[in-house]
Structure 1
Amino acid sequence: MAPVNILIVDDREENIIALEALLNRDDIRMFSTTSPNDALKIAWENPIAIALVDVQMPEMDGFELVEMLKANPKTKDILVIFVTAISKESKYVVKGLGTGAVDYLYKPLDPYITSAKVDAFIQLARNQAEIKEKNIELQNFAIVVKNSADMICAIDAQTLRIASINPAIEKIMGFKPDEVIGRGVVDLAIDEDQVPFRKKLGEIIKDNLQFAVFEYRFETFEKRVIWAECRMSYRNKTIFLNISDISPQKSFQEQLIKSKEAAEYGKKVKETFLANMSHELRTPVNGIIGITNLLRKTNIDEQQKSMLDLLETSSQSLLGVINDVLDISKIEAGKFSIVRTPNNLRAIVKAVYDLLKFKADEHNIEFLLEIAEDAPQYIQVDSLRLNQILMNLLSNAIKFTDRGHVKLKVTVMQKHNNKVKLKFSIEDTGIGIASDKIATIFESFEQAEDDTTAKYGGTGLGLTIVKKLIELKGGDLTVSSQVGKGSVFNFTNWYEVVDQPKEKATVRDVPRVLAPFKENISVLVVEDNLVNQFMLSKILKEWNVSVDMVDNGRKALDKLKENDYDVVLMDTHMPEMSGYQTAKTIRVDFEEPKRSVPIISLSAASYDHEQQQAISAGMNDVLAKPFMPYELHEKILKLLK
Structure 2
Amino acid sequence: MPYSNEILSPNIFDEKEASGFKSVVSAMFDKFPAMVWISDITSSMVYFNGSWLDFTGKTLKEELGFGWKENLHPKDANTCIGEYVSAFNSRTIYEQEFRLKHKSGEYRWIRVTAWPFNGSENVFYGYLGFCYDITDQKIREIVSSDREAYYRALIENISDIITIVTENETVIFCSASTKKIMNYSPDELVGKTYSQCVHYEDMAVFKNAFYKALASPATPVSASYRFVNKNGEYCNLESIMNNMLNDEAVNGIIINSRDVTARVKMETDLKCAMAMADSANLAKSQFIANVSHEIRTPLNSIAGFVNLLSGSELSPKQSEYASYIKKGCEVLISLVNNVLDFSKIEAQKIEIDEIDFKLSELTNDVITLTRQSAAANGVSTNVYIDENIGGSLTGDYKKLRQILLNLVSNAIKFTKNGEVKIEIKLCSYKNDKTFVTFNVIDNGIGMSSEQVEKIFKPFDQARPEISRIYGGTGLGLHISNQLVKLLNGEKISVESAIDKGSKFYFTLPFTAKSETTARAKTSPGFKIEKNIDSYEILIVEDNLINYILVEELLKKMGHRPHKAEDGHRAVELVKKNRYDIIFMDIQMPGIDGYEATRQIRSTDREVPIVAMTANAIRGDYERCIESGMNDYLSKPIEIEKFNDIILRYVKNRTQSSSEQSRPAAQVISVSAPESVLIFDHDKFVKNTFSNDSLAKDIIKIFFEDIEKYRKILKDAIEKKDSETLFKSAHRLKGSAANVCAPCLKQAFLSLETAGRESRFEDATGFLELLGREIDIFKTEIKKHGYDYAD
TM-score tier, shorter chain, comes to 0.3 to 0.5
Structure with max Cα Rg = 2
Q: Taking structure 1 as the reference length, what is the TM-score of the superposition?
A: 0.43
TM-score (norm 2): 0.36
Q: Which has the higher contact order (CA 8 A, sep 6+)?
A: 1
